[in-house]
Amino acid sequence: MSHRPEPRSTRRLALTISILSLAVFLANASGCGSGENTPAPAVKSDSESGAKAKTAGTAGESKAATEEEEEAAAKPFVLGDLLEPFTPPSLEDVDRTAEWIDRPVLSGAEILRKKQQDKGPPTVTAEQALKLKNDYPKNKENNDIILNSVGRLAPADGAGVDFDATFVRHVSGDLKSTNPIMISSITEFEYQSLAGFGYLGFDQELNYFGSKDSIVSWQMSKDHLIDKIVLRDDLTWSDGRPITAHDVKFTFQVIMSEAVSPPAVRQGIDQLKWVEAYDDRTIVFFHKAALATNTTNIGIPVLPKHIYEKTIAADPTLARSAEHSRLEDHPVVGGAYELVRRERNQEHVVRRRESYYMHNGKQVRPKPNLNEVRVKVIEDVNTALVALRAGQIEQVELRPEQWVSRTNDDEFYARNTKVTALEWTSFHFDWNCGTPYFSDKRVRHAMSWAFDYDELLNTICRGLYEQSRGNFHPTSWAFPKAGPTPFRQDLNKAEDLLDAAGWKDSDGDGIRDKRIDGRLVPFEFTMLTYQSETGIQTATLMKECLSKIGIICNVKPTEFTVLTDSQQKHKFDAAMGGWGAGTDPDSNSNLYMTNEGRNYGQYSNAQIDELFLQGRREFDRAKRAEIYGQIHNILWDDQPYTWLFCRNSFYAFNNKLRGYNFCPTGPYNFDPGIFGLFKPSASR
Amino acid sequence: MLPAPDTIETTRPIDQSPGFWRDAWRHFRRRKLSMIALCYVVFLCLVALFAPLIAGTKPIVCKYKGQIYFPFMGYYLRTWENPVFFQDRFRGEYPKPLAEKDPESWAIWPLVYQDPYRRIRENEWPGRAGNPVSIEGKPSSLNWLGTNQQGFDVFAQMVHGTQIALSVGFMSMGIAAAIGICFGALAGYFGGWIDTILSRVIELVMCIPTLVLILALVALLNKVSNYHLMVIVGITGWTGIARLTRAEFLKLKQMEFVTAARAMGAGWPRIMFRHVLRNALAPVLVPITFGIADAILIESGLSYLGFGASPPNPSWGTLLHSGRSAIEEMWWLILFPGLAIFFTVLAYNLIGEGLQEATDPRLRQAAH
Amino acid sequence: MVHYLIRRLLLGIFTLLLITFVVYALIRHMPGTPLTTDPAMMNPSRMPSPEDIERRAKLYGLDKPWHIAYFIWLGNTLQGDLGNSIPKNNAPVTRLIAERVPATLMLSVTSLLLTYLLSIPIGLWATVKSGSFAERVVSTALYMLYSMPAFVAALYLQLLFYSRLGWLPLFGMRSDNYETLSASAQLWDLFKHALLPVICFTYGSLAYYSRFIYANMQETVRQDYVRTARAKGVPPARVIWHHAFRNTLIPLVTLMGLTLPSLLGGAVILEQIFSWPGMGRLYFEAIGQRDYETIMGLTLMFSILTLGGQLLADVLYAIVDPRVTYN
């Protein structure tokens, strides 16, 4: 046998390959790359006349000549091109016609401190409270005692606070971006609460106010269409330049530029018609319509204009260019803490900056308690708990199983304590009203009657949660005065309702069925659920309950992406879901209004649609409460969801920490949030 | 000089050769350890077959309203459980409704009254407490091997999960071995452009991420069973076996016995599968036997990552991973499935060893 | 041989194109896009408008049909631009991968070397002592190791060495004060952090490899030439090592070729437990988030390694065994 390969075959092969490669290069020539960074003239921000600014349109065309096809990424950056052209009136005109109403400008820490003082002195000292064992839910008192005493904020003058303390936190997802308008997950949100400049906050009861640390005054026009904010004059970026109203306006325009793609912040801000900076300190927000939800829309994260106006045209994605990458790791911040270290997928560290609370040598703001906050990324919750027990990290969000089983022993309490607080996150089964199974209200009621809530709450949820009483939480102002009573399992009622709806076992195989369009359809459906333990267990319990009354439910734990995709396309029978609470009850409108984006179950009720629209336009709190109460009761009657339970937050903290408090969306979202935490100085 | 015919002793008639497999079985029987392993596997098969009789909440046989029924069949297929129990609103439980609705009924119950799919409630069996949950679910007289976080009995789950444990391995490895050996043998034996094409196919399948295939499949199905997953594992896992087989065939096709067989006129399938393959099996047997045992661990890994079979899935692997969050407190969730997996791995490997030695005539000689 | 190599390389390029095409087709047909779980959709109080959703899809080229998008990706890749990861805030894929390569290599190369260094002696020793009580015990112990899943071992080791003894760190790759340490102290720090992950990575394959070697050796030591060598008086060690072991090298080479891609594959669960910034976790997340760019970048890398591994194995066959020829 010859050892030399046939020369002809090799040549033939080489020819084939070369032709193929040529084809590929041709395809490349006709296709379009993502484009190199071409230098472009700096973007001119719009003139005071408000005309839409255009960059030199040549910026796009000056790209590599091989690319003929236009791709969206190669589109020239135009600042604020999503805005309708608008000429803002002069400041005198605005002041003359507005009939200003003052809005509150407060300090979150002061509000909370006063609230705590009004409660009276704590029943035990913090040291004594830390020795208690928190055996919630068996005994709810210890939890309250601990929160009441350990959660006391430090006095306003900072007495007893160790200002050099470091706080080591835990998060399970890495910080993806330090850019304020690229917030996309909880970790970024928490980072921005430390390092970002903000002027709007809300307290424990979710009431909004202007932050005294940032603004001087906040006024709203009588017709609710205009808001005016006057910033303080002692605000500085971490590079020394002052924070001005122009930064706010610039950021607004950046967010409303088509070439920029902020993951989350555009929503709500696009309800603003215009934002105008009349001088260095005065900002006026013009709203498109007079709605009660306008307040939340004026909270815009702020970028330093003097930095980004030079760099954004070259790279509207704010992430790809070399300069933007450098800024990612060395950002210019306006908040109290600046980034000093960032190791991806491991940790990031922020340190208090003096230029936040000192101005021209004088202290102008309360000094933040903690010197440094180290945020460690540990994806595995068990590992995080082991690290907490050993004292290596000082705060962990606990899973329910961990609350019940791994945080009760002496070794845990030697260094740590744990607390729980109400959260308005609720879970439910979502019935797709577009399927033949769940289009009938009686069937949905039957589902709610069939479920074994006792087993769910006592066994799966270990007694840690409360049963849900509908869409709004009983502690929310939107909850109706005569609210519904929660369901209890009643299989007989469920079976009667199913019989009434026409689902009977006509062919004697033990499974209910119904004749639809001439075909005998058995009652067998698929329930999609999260891949979390609680989700799977709850859905399995539902399967068990339904099999007792002749319905087959197939539980399918689904990847999050597929779950979301199926729900958005309405391609599911039933799904288990959960929602966190928004600060305004109107945020639920996209869940229940006909054809709204998050109305996955295709529920439709004209009355609900009308009521939500009314609620938006009503400004009186009492009247709004009535409207939302009505909504709540109608929803309960329709049962588009089977509401299950409301979840608590569970946190474990190191014994050295004080000053943590909770609001219905967690411990760090509200004002003061993380700024309330401190470590007492040794002498105390 | 030939002896005279009448002085030839009557010899025993020559026994017909027992045949290759008979012979192999005889040799296999002589290895004690392999026989013990085989008995263990047979025992597991029996447990898998008669699982509802060992642990279940449906009576094996009962008399209700004058008729004899076999409700336990409902564990195999839902329609085998007679619909009369649904019409009379038994609600899936038997002890109390049987007695209440027909005082003259009687029933023979499985060995252990526990269910792998749900928690036994308080007083479901008159006078018996319900299953404890979470860390209180220690092994006890009611729950021999304890309960999992949700209160499902571990013993019942392990018994009903035996069927899955046995079959997933054979299924996935069976498919993988069949495809892999075929591809590898063809590629190695023929060489040339057949080898080129088949090797490219092997590389193609090797490079496609298994996870992507599993996700794509799971997204399509309404009800994912362990068998779907194992078919995927088999279809994507044959590449290693193919490469090993190909390497052996590349080496062995030069041997003299191949040339001899070809000279005798044997066709290529015969040469490949009857002559060469037997000699090429040694390196392939190890991945196969490990792979059978590995299938259980793969299944548990998948169910942990969330792509497992539709719950409730009483398999050893699911139990193992459910113990993860309370590894110190709920040791029984790790210990018992872990022991079962260990013994099964051991058994399969001992059988594999025995098989190798029984089928390879060379190995029957002592090594020294 | 040279012609064979050239042919293989050309074929490799072709196979690579085919692989990337098939994988791209697969992931584009899976339900969901990188924007499905976009945080814009997750915020309960704010809902993006349909125009906004479309705008974003267009911005990222997601409105194009998949076969066009494939060629765009191919064109970019050939120019050296692997694209940007949409779910990870437009981070360039090359940077995402490069960040994790050292960590993954540190774990897998060490583990691979350890595996071979340990399993070859064990396998050979088992061959020599085949059937003896000691060999049975060792084999059983190895099976026990094999049947213990990685997370059980990891958690128990963590509990022992971190919680009880405090000898080794719990998670991560470096200590907090890594920068301040001297070079030798840095090495020691890395060693301490890598020790538990490497152990967990390695112990499972010990049983597999040593049994593999054992099974192959069982066949080889019964060959006639081995009997001859023994009869000639060759010392037993030399018989095993010099004569017998060499002839089991072909399957071993195959195995090595098959494990080359796993060098950069990482292990999803172990990386999560030890918070080790490796590739396994990146790949897993990318698939879950439908991060097409990252998936393609990683697939390309793994495919190149796989094809390279197979080519290396095939070449080694010809070197190791003169009976193997390619023509």
Q: What gap in Å lies between CA A308 and CA A317, rounded to an integer?
A: 12
Q: Which domain holds residue A551?
A: 423-648
Residue recorded with tokens 């066009």: C68
Whether the predicted pLDDT of A441 surpasses 90: yes
Tell me, rounded to whole angstroms, the distance of Cα A655 from its chain centroid.
29
Is A342 domain-assigned? no
Is residue A198 a part of any domain in this protein? no
Could you tell me if residue A439 is inside a domain?
yes
pLDDT for the residue A23 = 47
Q: What is the DSSP letter of A89?
A: P
Q: What is the ipTM of this complex?
A: 0.86
* Among A residues 564-603, those touching chain C with beta carbons less than 8 Å apart: 564-566, 568, 579-584, 587-588, 590, 596-598
Number of Cβ pairs < 8 A linking chain B and chain C: 163
User: What's the CA gap between A247 and A301, in Å, rounded?
Assistant: 10
If you measure CA to CA, which chain C residue comes closest to A386?
Answer: C163
Residue whose token pair is 């497992």: B308
B287 contacts on C by Cβ (under 8 Å): 212
Give the per-residue pLDDT at C327: 53
pLDDT on residue B3: 56
Total number of domains in chain A: 1
* Cα separation, A424 vs A440, whole angstroms: 29
CB A526 within 8 A of CB A572: yes
Cα A538-A544-A546 angle, rounded to 5 deg = 105
Across the range A287-316, mean pLDDT stands at: 89
Residue A1 has pLDDT above 50, yes or no: no
* Residue A562 is assigned to a structural domain of this protein: yes
User: C14 to chain B: nearest residue by CA?
Assistant: B200
- Give residue C31's pLDDT: 85
Contact yes or no for A28 and C71 at CB 8 A: yes
Using CA coordinates, name the residue in chain B closest to C32. Answer: B219
Strand stretches in A319-371, DSSP E: 337-343, 347-352, 358-359, 362-363
Mutate to test the interface with B, among C209, C254, C291 (most CBs of B within 10 A): C254
Instruction: Using the predicted structure, report yes or no on whether residue A16 has a pLDDT greater than 60.
Output: no
- How far off is chain A from B152, nearest CA to CA, in Å? 11
Q: What percent of chain A has a predicted confidence (pLDDT) above 70?
A: 89
Q: Please check whether residue B297 touches C, CB under 8 A.
A: yes
DSSP A459: I
Tens-place pLDDT, residues C112-154 = 889 989 999 999 998 888 878 998 899 888 888 888 888 888 8
The pLDDT of residue A45 is above 70: no
In C, which residues are within 8 Å of B334 by CB distance? Answer: 152
Least CB–CB distance from C215: residue in B199, B301, B356: B356
Question: What is the pTM assigned to this prediction?
Answer: 0.86
Query: Does the pLDDT at position C65 exceed 60?
Result: yes
Mutate to test the interface with B, among C9, C129, C137, C146 (most CBs of B within 10 A): C146
Of all residues in chain A, the one with the smallest CA distance to C289 is A561
Domain membership of residue A535 (yes or no) is yes
Confidence check: pLDDT of A493 > 90: yes
- What's the DSSP call for residue A63? S
pLDDT per position as a tens digit, C234-263: 888 888 888 888 878 888 888 878 877 776
Contact A383 C89 (CB under 8 A): no
A116, part of any domain: no
Q: Tell me which residue in B239, B304, B345 faces C146 most closely, judged by beta carbons.
A: B345
Checking A130-138 for CB contacts under 8 A at 24+ apart, the result is A130/A417, A130/A655, A131/A413, A132/A417, A133/A408, A133/A413, A134/A417, A134/A418, A134/A419, A134/A420, A135/A408, A136/A420, A136/A464, A137/A462, A137/A463, A137/A464, A138/A463
- When pLDDT is averaged across residues A519-535 and rounded to a whole number, the result is 90
Quick one: CA dihedral A429, A434, A440, A443, positive or negative? negative
Share of chain A above pLDDT 90, in %: 50
* pLDDT recorded at residue A41: 28
Residue-by-residue pLDDT tens, chain B, 368 positions: 565 555 556 666 676 776 777 777 888 888 888 889 999 999 999 999 999 999 999 989 888 888 888 888 888 888 787 788 888 888 888 888 888 888 888 889 999 999 999 999 888 888 888 888 888 888 988 889 999 888 899 999 999 989 888 888 888 899 999 999 999 999 988 888 899 899 999 988 888 888 888 887 777 777 778 888 888 888 888 988 998 899 888 888 888 888 888 888 888 888 778 778 877 777 788 888 888 877 877 877 777 777 778 888 888 888 887 887 777 788 898 889 888 888 887 888 888 888 877 777 666 655 44
Chain B residues touching residue A531 (CB < 8 angstroms): 305-306
**Does A416 reside within a domain?**
no
Residues 6+ apart with CB under 8 A from A123: A145, A148, A149
The alpha-carbon gap from B77 to the nearest alpha carbon of chain A, in Å, equals 12
**What CATH code is carried by the domain that includes residue A640?**
3.10.105.10
SS3 for A266-277, per residue? HHHHCCEEEEEE
Residues 520-539 of A with CB under 8 A from B: 526, 531, 533, 536-537, 539
- Model confidence at A42, in pLDDT bands (50, 70, 90)? very low
Residue C173 to chain A, least CA–CA distance (Å): 8
Which residues of C fall within a CB distance of 8 Å from A568? 36, 41
Task: Using CB atoms, list chains with 3+ pairs below 8 Å to chain C.
Answer: A, B
For residue A185, the chain C residue with the least C-alpha distance is C39
What Cα–Cα distance (Å) separates residue C298 from each residue in A172, C275, C277? 23, 20, 15
| Neighboring chains of B (3 or more beta-carbon pairs < 8 A) | A, C
Q: Give the residue with greater pLDDT, C195 vs B295.
A: C195
Q: Does A457 touch chain B (CB under 8 A)?
A: no
Distance from CA of B325 to the nearest CA of A (A): 7
Q: DSSP 3-state assignment of C58?
A: helix
| Residue A564 resides in a domain | yes
CB A171 within 8 A of CB A377: yes
C305 touches B at CB < 8 Å: no
